[in-house]
Structures are given as C-alpha cells and as structure tokens.
Amino acid sequence: MPLVVITGVPSSGKTTRANELKQFFEKNKKQVFVVSENEQITKANFEKNQFYSDSSKEKHIRGLLKSEVLKLMTPNNVVILDALNYIKGFRYELYCGSKANKNTQCTLHVEINRDEAWTFNENRTPESEKYSRDTFDALVMRYEEPERKNRWDSPLFVVFPQQDLNTEGIRSALFDEAPPPPNMSTQNPSLNSTNFLYDLDQVTKKIVDGLIRNKNMGQKGVINVDGFPGLSVDISNATVQQLMILRRQYLTYCKMHPPETRQIPQLFVQYLSTSLQ
C-alpha cells in the first residue's frame, strides 16, 4: 500500500505532520504505520548530536528504516516515514522499493525558514532532544531538497508551518493514481529455479569477499569487482562489518523481491554503491 516519505530540515515539524496524516487516514478507515527515525536512534542508544556526526551510525539507521518500511508494505497499510530523509539517493532507494511492491508513493516536504526552525529547536524539551548549533547547521547544509522533476520525489507536496496540510491531495495521489509500472530492475519474476537462493548467496558472497580482500590489501577508492567485468565499487568509506551487514540486508530484500538471476551482480553492486555513499 502507499508510502509517504516525509522530508525536511531539523525542527521543521515533520513529526507533527506525520501525526496529522496518521489521524487523517485513520479517520478514513486506513491502517497506518509511522516509521520514526527518532525512535530508531533512541532504540540504538545513540546520542542525537553524536549520531548525526557519525556517517556509519547514520547508514546503520537508514538501513533499519528502509527494512522496516519494506516489511510494513502490505495491501492494507499506509506507511509514513518520519525522518530527515535529506539524501536524495536514499529517497530513490525507497522509491525503487515501493515500485517493486507495486505501491504508490508521494513525498511531503515540510518547509520552513531556517531561523524559525532554529527557534523551534531552542524551545524543545527535554534538552536531549535539541540539536547543537554545529549539528543543525551541518544538516541544513547537507540537505538535498526534493524536486518535482525527480520521479522518486513526485508527486511532491510542500507545506509551511502556518499552512493547512493538503490531506485530500495526498489521499488522491496515493489511492486514486496507479502505481508506476515495474521495469526490469524491479519486476519480480516467478522463481521456477530452485537454484535462485543458492546463486544469490554465492554471487553476493563472492563480491563481498573480493571487496574485503582488496580492502585488507590496502586498496582505496573505486575498485573493480573481482570476477565481474565492468562493475566497480567505491570502498573509501566502507568497513568490513558494513559490507557484511549490507550483504545480509540485500539477501533479505531479494528473498521478498527476487530479481532475475543474471541481474544479481549488477543490482547488488548498485545497492552497495548507493548504501556506501
């Protein structure tokens, strides 16, 4: 069922809008699940400001958010992702996931004047919920605003603090429009071959083992994937643990949304490249 990706700079009112949408859809007899970035950060025992200054922790939480969103996508659910979602590459990943599930999706950009957002942040309670000035400024600088021309950001709804949320427009975009047609990379073929899971395991293991081997040899930057001509991955920011975690996440995803066997190497490398940005 539909996915609403909420995005905005810190303290722009994303959670307020997520709750508003949840109440609206529940009044319309829809089952709603809100996936919260703040809740995942708290569960992981990460301190808020330290979390956003550690790229490895951010990647870990993004992986959890994506996994939870995909898990909750069923024919009877509305899923709302309440998070900064400031990286356009991550929003694209979510788009591919909902497209593979033949779901509709829209983006809600909670916009705000940056000085006003800082004032809201300063008035937060408790103190642990506040962003530090350095963290706030860094996140604002890194924020990649959604654009209507990007298919993964469209349809795009923008709302400012004093505006009413266009709930009816969002409802129509999610329930009156057809989902985007699947393409070769998101089409789920029938699994006639009993060797699919074995091939999936072996191919991804070979790729990750090769990357780890090259990393242990001291190689950095973009390297070619051993045994797969034409494929390469930038391992500058990768750790051995990250590569192993990403492989496990990809295996879980492919068991629910299996690609064609011949596509496994290319799609897995694309997944690694996007996740390691």
**Whole-number Å distance between alpha carbons of 258 and 19:** 34
Looking at residue 52, what is its pLDDT? 93
Looking at residue 14, what is its pLDDT? 98
Express each pLDDT in 1-23 by its tens digit.
699 999 999 999 999 999 999 99
Looking at residue 112, what is its pLDDT? 97
Interval 100-106 mean pLDDT: 89
Asked whether the whole model's pTM tops 0.75, one would answer no
Q: Which of 87, 48, 52, 90 is nearest to 69 (CA)?
A: 90
Which of these CATH numbers, 3.40.50.1100, 3.90.1150.10, 3.40.50.300, 3.30.1490.20, describes 3-175? 3.40.50.300
DSSP code at position 262: G
Q: Which amino acid is at 109?
A: H
**Whole-number Å distance between alpha carbons of 108 and 154:** 9
Interval 99-117 mean pLDDT: 94
Express each pLDDT in 227-259 by its tens digit.
888 899 998 888 888 899 999 888 888 877 788
Q: What residues have CB less than 8 Å from 214, skipping those under 6 apart?
A: 223, 226, 235
**Beta strand segments in the chain, E:** 3-7, 31-36, 77-82, 105-110, 156-159, 222-224, 232-234
Looking at residue 155, what is its pLDDT? 96
Express each pLDDT in 259-275 by its tens digit.
888 889 999 998 898 88
Looking at residue 74, what is its pLDDT? 77
What are the sequence ranges of the domains in the chain? Answer: 3-175, 196-275
Q: Is the pLDDT of residue 92 over 80?
A: yes
Q: Which amino acid is at 82?
A: D
Q: Which of 108, 75, 84, 111 is nearest to 5 (CA)?
A: 108
Interval 35-49 mean pLDDT: 93
Looking at residue 190, what is its pLDDT? 43
Interval 161-165 mean pLDDT: 95
Average pLDDT score over the chain: 89
Looking at residue 70, what is its pLDDT? 87
Q: Is the pLDDT of residue 184 over 70?
A: no
CB 7 within 8 A of CB 95: no
**Residue 246: how many CA atoms within 13 Å on its side-chain side?**
27
Q: Which of the residue ranges 175-184, 211-220, 236-245 would you say has the lowest mean pLDDT?
A: 175-184
Looking at residue 182, what is its pLDDT? 63
Q: Which amino acid is at 131?
A: Y
Interval 137-141 mean pLDDT: 96
Q: Which of the residue ranges 32-41, 166-175, 183-192 would you say has the lowest mean pLDDT?
A: 183-192
Q: Which of 114, 158, 82 is nearest to 122 (CA)?
A: 114
Q: Is the pLDDT of residue 215 over 70?
A: yes
User: What confidence tier does 28 reach under pLDDT thresholds 50, 70, 90?
Assistant: very high
Interval 48-62 mean pLDDT: 90
DSSP code at position 263: G
Interval 38-55 mean pLDDT: 92
Q: Which of 105, 178, 186 is nearest to 146 (CA)?
A: 105
In degrees, rounded to 5, the angle at the alpha carbon of residue 98 between the alpha carbons of residues 256 and 277 is 90
- Note every long-range contact of 76-79, with CB atoms under 8 Å and residues 24 or more positions apart, other chains counting: 76/1, 76/31, 77/1, 77/31, 77/32, 77/33, 78/1, 78/2, 78/4, 78/25, 78/30, 78/31, 78/32, 78/33, 78/174, 79/1, 79/2, 79/3, 79/4, 79/32, 79/33, 79/35
